[in-house]
Homo-oligomer: A and B are copies of this chain.
Amino acid sequence: MTAFRNPIKVCFSDIDNAGIVYYPRFMHYFHLSIEEFFSKELGIDFADLLHKRNLSLPTVHVQSDFRQRVKYGDRIDVEVRILNIGRTSITWGYKGYRGSSPEELLVEGHNTTVCVRTDTFEKIEVPEWLKKALTDYEEASAQGAAQGSVS
């Protein structure tokens, strides 16, 4: 099983006046990808996370390296990985590959989010159900990778 990749098409308005993707848009791509990761890989709708499960994940740290120039019409496949699950925080890793050349790394980065209640913004521990969903996902990924390596 390979890591989850979210395909993103660079749109007209993502381009800045130097003719390339405006760099804050990459952080937006990271966010779009984590929204899709929750929905497609964990089966948890991000809107439900916020409003029904009362959990928000504000970012407290982000960093990113931009390897290649990305232009209008390019497609980026953003891989999402769970880098660390702490007591109150989760760190997510992102690698964006060129759609037309899946080994070519365009951008990479990670961000750390903390768990807070949506209604009060009070910091809380990573909820057990989320910890379970993430560790189950990681185990399935590891098994898939192991199976992949023998076949």
Whether A23 lies near B63 (C-beta < 8 A) is no
Interface size on A, residues (CB 8 A): 40
User: Within residues 5 to 57 of chain A, which ones have a CB less than 8 A from any CB in chain B?
Assistant: 11-13, 15-20, 22-25, 27-28, 31-32, 35, 45-48, 50, 56
Q: Is the CB of B69 within 8 A of A58?
A: yes
Q: Out of B24, B48, B61, name the residue touching A65 (CB < 8 Å).
A: B61
**10 tightest A-B contacts by CB?**
A47-B73, A63-B63, A24-B27, A15-B17, A18-B56, A23-B59, A24-B24, A47-B72, A13-B22, A17-B72
Q: A13-B16, A19-B17, A73-B45 are in contact. Are A61 and B63 (CB under 8 A)?
A: yes
Give me 25 A-to-B residue pairs in the complex whose CB atoms sit less than 8 angstroms apart, sorted by A's number: A11-B31, A11-B32, A12-B16, A12-B17, A12-B22, A12-B31, A12-B35, A13-B17, A13-B22, A17-B47, A17-B72, A18-B58, A18-B118, A22-B28, A23-B27, A23-B31, A23-B58, A24-B31, A27-B27, A47-B71, A48-B73, A58-B66, A62-B64, A63-B63, A69-B121
In the complex, residue of chain B having the shortest beta-carbon distance to the beta carbon of A11: B32
* Residues in A96-112 with C-beta less than 8 Å from chain B: 111
